[in-house]
Amino acid sequence: MAGTIAIKNGHVFDPLNEIKGDRMDIYIRNGKVVTELSAAELKDAKEIDASGKTVMPGGVDSHSHVAGAKVNVGRMMRPEDHYKFYQKKTPLTHSGCGYSVPSVYLGGYEYSKMGYTTVFEAAVPPMEARHTHEEMRSTPMIDMGGYLVLGNNWFLMRYLKEGDIEKAAAYIAWMMRTHKTYGIKCVNPAGVENWGWGENVNSLDQANIHFEVTPEDIIKGLAELNEMLGFSMPVHLHANNLGHPGCWEITRDSLKIPKSVKAKPKDPNVEWAETKVNPKRHESVYLTHCQFNAFGGTSWRDFESGVKGITDYVNSHEHVVMDSGCVPFGDATVMTGDGPAIHDLYVLTGSKWSNTDVECECGSGVLPFTYLKSNPVHSVQWAMGLEVLLYVKDAWKSIMTTDSPNGGPFIKYPQVIAWLMSNKARQDTLNECHKWASDRAGLASETREMTLNEIAIVTRANAARTIGLSHSKGTLGIGADGDVAIYDINPAKLEVSDYESIIRAFENAAYTVKGGEVVCQKGEIVAIPEKKTYYTDITVNAEEEKKMIDDVKNWFKYYTIGFSNYPTPEKYLANPTPIKIDAEV
């Protein structure tokens, strides 16, 4: 029976149900987790003996750059990233190549091998949404969705300046539907717009050119609008001054802005899986790739970790959740909607680079980068990425990412997990690093070792909960999607000092189950599952929407694209899965 499976005797980690390694069976029928299977169903079901193995919900990556215009630019400008790292086609799989920016097919396979089943593209420029969806549609193995870049959008900046909140809300709702995207992304608010004139903004109260809105206005405005509309996920924030020494302060101050905004996710029209922990978010801001936003010092000479300043704030406040942006060393491709940040990196490194101004909407930049253990700044960045996760006391406030491929490609996640779980792994790497890693970050004296349960939180449960997907993802509760990762780790016999075995286990999941079907086994793809594309379908007051559309149509004469060619129709999505929300605005 398709999508029906029995996973027996595994050590199950399901943080949303407070299951921490108990030996139990997981039953899946027709792609959904169920209490049990009847004798007849059991006979037909595939049975997996998971005894001595770790069983977790399928991995969820809430921030990764895997599809769309800038990712493709990264592929085009990096032939050298592709010729050494390739896979031949098999009867089942496509060929593919690319280390830090793999082709879409390879990306899907590689995620699946690590037990991941859901990945969200972190930045979709509105005008590039069609292209992004085309690439997501071609990415096999994983369910996907994308965040719409709105932090420097001309309409929003104008509505926010004029204080026209109703129109702004109508605009966001319309844009989400139009581009079939999932949530609000805000990149270097007010700064990227200035980049069109070769400038940036340096403080939260600095108004940008022409629109005269400040980063504070935009963060506050978007956070309020996000809750007014009741999105499943909080505002996804890439703070100002990213990548500049001393930026941790502006990051902390940015987090203070939505402090008084209460999280009010509306109930979407979905069936919720059974969970013991409240599966809904209570945060109003999601700070992404914290490491890049946590630089201390005043210049590259006195550069140091500023992570503590941010994690102290996160530890004492309820409205913030964040992901780490770890740096696992080696080749990376830096790509972001933050055009000025990439230009600064170009000035610093002299590397080849690409910058784009996406007319009236946002910007972006791409640059190849190599993180070296011998480089003082890189070694501190490595330490900082791990500090972000280890200093946050409650794992439910953090998510593990590498901001792939900015800190490093996602295929390095197993290495990051090993550093989090094993102090010895960290000490061994510290010994190979430039001494700044010990001198200018606190990691050397941090002895915390994350448990498998905490790893399950930061790699799936919390990622799913934060972006409002725990109704079906990141849990093995009854009614959840039958996405399961089974790893060759026996929690009863686990020695974290043998960290190589942790890396091996997480690199190639013993089984990746998607919708109750085994799709990957010990690093080999054995089936190509159906996939879903999530987007948020918000309805608002029709009157307000009409007035807003008039504004948009009027302004479209300045666009190089016709208004009717602007939307992304559903046919660009693989299995479009709207999350319907009635915003009543």
Partner 1 sequence: MAEVILKPTGNFDLTVEAEVVTPDNFAGKSAQDIGKLLVWQGPKQFPISDFFEVRGNGGSSAQDTTIVIDGDVIRVKRIGEGMTAGKIQVKGSTGMHTGAAMIGGEILVEGNTDSWPGMEMKGGLLHITGNALDHVGSAYRGSWHGMTGGRIVIDGNAGNQVGGGMSGGEIIVGGNVDNFCGTRMNGGLIAVKGNAIRTVGAEMTGGTLVIGGTIDKFTPGFMQTAVESDLKFNDIECPGEYKKFAGDYAIPQKGKGVLYVSAQNNEDL
Summarize as ranges the residues that interact with partner 1 (CB under 8 A): 77-81, 83, 350-352, 368
Nearest of 231, 302, 242, 297 to residue 268 by alpha carbon = 231
Write out 100-151 in H/E/C secondary structure: CCCCHHHHHHHHHHCCEEEEEEEEECHHHHHHHHHHHHHCCCCEEEEEEECC
Identify the burial level of 574 via C-beta atoms within 10 angstroms of its C-beta, where 0-12 means exposed, 13-18 middle and 19 or more buried.
middle
* 101 versus 257: smaller Cβ distance to partner 1: 101
Question: What is the nearest approach in angstroms of partner 1 to the Cβ of residue 78?
Answer: 6
Instruction: Compute the C-alpha angle 66/71/73, nearest 5°.
Output: 165
Nearest of 197, 387, 414 to residue 293 by alpha carbon = 387
* 88 versus 557: smaller Cβ distance to partner 1: 88
Question: What is the nearest approach in angstroms of partner 1 to the Cβ of residue 76?
Answer: 9
Question: What is the nearest approach in angstroms of partner 1 to the Cβ of residue 368?
Answer: 8
* 352 versus 546: smaller Cβ distance to partner 1: 352
Question: What is the nearest approach in angstroms of partner 1 to the Cβ of residue 446?
Answer: 35
Question: What is the nearest approach in angstroms of partner 1 to the Cβ of residue 353?
Answer: 13
DSSP letters of 280-293? Answer: S---SEEE-SGGGG
Name 324's Cβ contacts closer than 8 Å, sequence gap at least 6: 289, 290, 291, 385, 386, 388, 389, 398, 399, 400, 401, 402
Question: What is the nearest approach in angstroms of partner 1 to the Cβ of residue 84?
Answer: 9
Residue 424, Cβ neighbours under 10 Å: how many? 16
* 77 versus 526: smaller Cβ distance to partner 1: 77
Looking at residue 4, its amino acid is T
Annotate 198-220 with b (16+ C-beta within 10 A) or e (fewer).
eebbeebeebbeebebbbbbbbb
* 14 versus 81: smaller Cβ distance to partner 1: 81
Identify the burial level of 569 via C-beta atoms within 10 angstroms of its C-beta, where 0-12 means exposed, 13-18 middle and 19 or more buried.
exposed
* 11 versus 75: smaller Cβ distance to partner 1: 75
* 82 versus 426: smaller Cβ distance to partner 1: 82
Question: What is the nearest approach in angstroms of partner 1 to the Cβ of residue 533?
Answer: 32
* 47 versus 80: smaller Cβ distance to partner 1: 80
Question: What is the nearest approach in angstroms of partner 1 to the Cβ of residue 421?
Answer: 34
* 331 versus 338: smaller Cβ distance to partner 1: 331
- Direct distance between the N- and C-terminal alpha carbons of the chain, in angstroms, rounded to an integer: 45
297 backbone φψ class: left, alpha, beta (φ>0; ψ -120 to 50): left
Instruction: Compute the C-alpha angle 570/576/580, nearest 5°.
Output: 100
Query: DSSP 3-state helix, strand, coil percentages of the chain (rounded to 5)?
Result: 40, 25, 40
Question: What is the nearest approach in angstroms of partner 1 to the Cβ of residue 297?
Answer: 25
Which residue bears the tokens 């921490």?
20
* 81 versus 216: smaller Cβ distance to partner 1: 81
* 79 versus 163: smaller Cβ distance to partner 1: 79
Yes or no: say if 253 and 204 are a contact pair by the CB < 8 Å rule: yes
Question: What is the nearest approach in angstroms of partner 1 to the Cβ of residue 466?
Answer: 37
Question: What is the nearest approach in angstroms of partner 1 to the Cβ of residue 79?
Answer: 4
Name 571's Cβ contacts closer than 8 Å, sequence gap at least 6: none
> In terms of DSSP H, where are the helices of 184-338?
191-195, 215-229, 248-256, 307-316
* 331 versus 387: smaller Cβ distance to partner 1: 331
Residue 148, Cβ neighbours under 10 Å: how many? 28
Question: What is the nearest approach in angstroms of partner 1 to the Cβ of residue 374?
Answer: 15
Question: What is the nearest approach in angstroms of partner 1 to the Cβ of residue 408?
Answer: 18
- Which sign, positive or negative, has the C-alpha torsion 521, 136, 184, 544? negative
* 39 versus 347: smaller Cβ distance to partner 1: 347
Query: Distance (Å, rounded) from C-alpha 156 to C-alpha 505?
Result: 46
